Amino acid sequence: MQARRHLSAALLLAVLAVLAPAPGPVSAAGDPHRLFEARCGRCHAHAGGLARERLGVAAGTHLVGRQSGEDIAVFLAGHYGRLTDAEIALLVDLFRFQVLAEGKFRAKCAICHGRARDLARAFLALRDGRLVGRYTGRDVAGFLAGHGRVEPAELPVFLEALTRAVPGDP
């Protein structure tokens, strides 16, 4: 009985250890921006800029390095940063999102707003986790539903991209 209780306590601890975020300053668990800053930031200033300048899409969905022409996951496995497969997957997801959002913003918003980052930095802010107009106080999610020919399916992409671009975004 006693042994069994010990065993289940050990199992519980093992499960908790797996579920808990990795300790230390580089919590790869879930935050690709921190991961990028820690492992790539020394040589590449900003994940968004890197995606914009150095990544392209081949065959519709395939993210590749512009210079190497290589699949980005393959490229990263042999590049600086000593990433694990899980960390590569995390960064590839981030880059894919950034390339998608960038393309959409360029197509629908850039003609009036220039770059998403500039719009976010100059005019937007986060209040209680909500994206708002810095000077207008307007709720951007509600506003965008009727602005810039945004389709309902695209709304989360624009919202997330602008939210991420607000300075001080965690």
Binding site for ligand HEC (CB under 6 A): 39-40, 42-44, 50, 54-55, 65-68, 70, 75-76, 79-81, 83, 91, 108-109, 111-113, 123, 133, 135-136, 138, 140, 143-144, 147-148, 150, 158
In the complex, minimum distance from the CB of residue 68 to ligand HEC, in angstroms, rounded to a whole number: 3
Whose Cβ is closer to ligand HEC: residue 21's or residue 156's?
156
Q: Which of 15, 36, 26 is nearest to 164 (CA)?
A: 36
**Of 99 and 140, which CB lies nearer to ligand HEC in the complex structure?**
140
Question: Considering only CA atoms, which of 27, 32, 7 is closest in space to residue 160?
Answer: 32
In the bound complex, what is the minimum distance in angstroms from residue 18's beta carbon to ligand HEC?
A: 24
The residue whose Cβ lies closest to ligand HEC is 65
What is the closest distance, in whole angstroms, from the C-beta atom of residue 154 to ligand HEC in the complex? 7
Q: Nearer Cβ to ligand HEC, position 18 or 79?
A: 79
Residues 138, 139, 144, 146: is their CA dihedral positive or negative?
negative
Least separation in angstroms between residue 31's CB and ligand HEC is 14
Rounded Cα distance, 128 and 44, in Å: 30
How many Cβ atoms from other residues are within 10 Å of residue 128's Cβ? 5
Task: Please report, as a single letter, which amino acid is at residue 40.
Answer: C
C-beta closer to ligand HEC: residue 6 or 53: 53
Q: How far is CA 154 from CA 12, 104, 109, 110, 136, in A?
A: 41, 8, 12, 15, 23
